[in-house]
Amino acid sequence: MKVPFIDLSSSEKFLSSKIKKAIENVIRRKDFILGKEVKEFEENFSKYIGCRYTVGVCSGSSGLFLALKALDISSNDYVITTPFTFTATAEVILHCNAKVIFVDIDKDTYNISVEETENALKKFGNKVKAVIPVHLYGQPCNMQDLLKVCKEYNIKIVEDAAQAHGAIFRFKNGSEIIEKKVGSIGEIGCFSFYPTKNLGCYGDGGAVTTNDEKLYQKLLRLRNHGRVEHYLYQEIGYNSRLDNLQAAILLVKLNYLDKLNKERQKIAQIYTQELKNVGDIVTPYVAENVTHVYHLYVIKTSYRDKLKEFLKLHNIGCAVQYDIPLHLQPAYKGLYETVSSLKNSEITSRKVLSLPIYPGLKETQIEYVINTIKKFFKNLKK
Ligand SMILES: Cc1ncc(COP(=O)(O)O)c(C=O)c1O
C-alpha cells in the first residue's frame, strides 16, 4: 500500500465540477484583477471568521508583511514571535527593518509561551510594538492570557493563522464562554491559501482580517499600490492583490471548510486513540479550551529519524515541521534577540514527525500507517 504525505486530488474530487464552472465564469467575464469574486470571497470569509473585514492578498507571507506595515512597524521597533514556525512569520519583521525577538514555545502545545512573551516585554519595554503568535499545526495559541499581557503593555497582536482556518478559541468570562475563531481575536489575522492548507487555492493566495475600519482601509491601499483612485496614490504600496481566479476557487471551497476540517479531526482522533501507548510516542496535546483543525498531525518520539526512514521504506510519506528552528538557521544569524534559552523549540524540533492527514485519506490507509508504526516499535524491543 502507498500513503502519500499529501494528496490534494483525493480531497477535491467531489468539488471539481463546481470549481471548473467557477473558473470558467471568471474567464468568460475576464475580470481577472480585483473582480467580483474577490469582493464576494472577502465578505464570505469575514462572515465565516466572525470579523468585520477581510482583504484578499497574494499569499500568507504578503499578508503578514502588509499587517506589520499597516501597524507602521519600522526600523526602531521590536516584534516578538516564536522560532518554531515557518520562516515567513519572522522574515516579514526583518523586511520592515524591525528587530526580531524570539521567545520559546510551550513544551506541550508548541505554541508561543505567554510567560516568555511577558518576560520579553519586561526586558524590551515600549520598544516592542507587536507580537505574532502562530496557531501552529492548527491549534490556537493561549489567546486569553496573551490578550491580557498585550493589553497591559499596549502591544498589537498579529495572528499568524496560516495553518488554522476555522480553529476556535473559547474565552472564559466568569461562567460565560465566548467562542472566537482565530483571525478575529488580535488586531489583524493572517491566512495562507497555499494549496495544501486546510483552505487552499490553486496557486498562491492569502487574506488579512481585522475588526478595525482604519486598518482595513490601509490594508486595502497597501495591497494595491497605495491607490485611492486608479491613478491617485495616497501612500507607497505594493502589488499584493488576491487573484480573481483564486478567489473563485476559494469561494467554492469555503463552503466545505467545516466538513473537511471535521474529516481531519476524525482522522486525528483515530491516530491519537491508536498511538497513545505505542513506544515513546507523544500524541498531540490539545488544550481544553480550543478546537484544533489539524492542518498537521504531529507526534513526538526520540526515534524520529529512524521511524521516518522505516515509514518511507513502507511507502508512507511523512515530514518534519520544523527540524531547524529559525534561531539556528544561517539566515537569522545575528538578526534576533532573545530573553532566555530557546530549549523547548530545540528539543521539540529534534522529535516531531508529521503523519499523513488530509480529507479523503482512506480508513485502510490510516490503519496501515498505525500498524506500520506499531511494527517499528515492536522491532525496537527485539
Ligand atoms: C505558519 C505560516 N506562516 C506563514 C506562511 C506563509 O504563507 P504563504 O506560503 O501563503 O506565503 C505559512 C505557509 O506555509 C505558514 O505555515
Fold classification of 257-381 (topology level): Aspartate Aminotransferase, domain 1 (3.90.1150)
Instruction: Please identify, by atom number, the ligand 1 atom nearest to the C-alpha of residue 61.
Output: 11
Question: Residue 234 in contact with residue 213, Cβ under 8 Å?
Answer: no
Of 167, 207, 193, which is closest to residue 54 (Cα–Cα)? 207
Check pocket membership of 89 for ligand 1, CB cut-off 6 A. yes
Check pocket membership of 194 for ligand 1, CB cut-off 6 A. yes
Check pocket membership of 263 for ligand 1, CB cut-off 6 A. no
pTM: 0.98
Of 252, 274, 380, 365, which is closest to residue 318 (Cα–Cα)? 365
**How far, in Å, is the centroid of ligand 1 from the Cα of 193?**
8
Among 3.40.640.10, 3.40.50.920, 3.30.470.10, 3.30.530.20, name the CATH number for the domain at 8-254.
3.40.640.10
Question: What is the full per-residue pLDDT of the chain (382 aa) written as tens digits?
Answer: 999 999 998 777 788 999 999 999 999 999 999 999 999 999 999 999 999 999 999 999 999 999 999 999 999 999 999 999 999 999 999 999 999 999 999 999 999 999 999 999 999 999 999 999 999 999 999 999 999 999 999 999 999 999 999 999 999 999 999 999 999 999 999 999 999 999 999 999 999 999 999 999 999 999 999 999 999 999 999 999 999 999 999 999 999 999 999 999 999 999 999 999 999 999 999 999 999 999 999 999 999 999 999 999 999 999 999 999 999 999 999 999 999 999 999 999 999 999 999 999 999 999 999 999 999 999 997 7
Q: Where are the beta strands (DSSP E) in 109-253?
A: 128-132, 156-160, 168-173, 176-181, 188-192, 206-210, 227-229, 232-233
Residue nearest to atom 14 of ligand 1 (CA): 86
- Domain chopping of the chain, boundaries: 8-254, 257-381
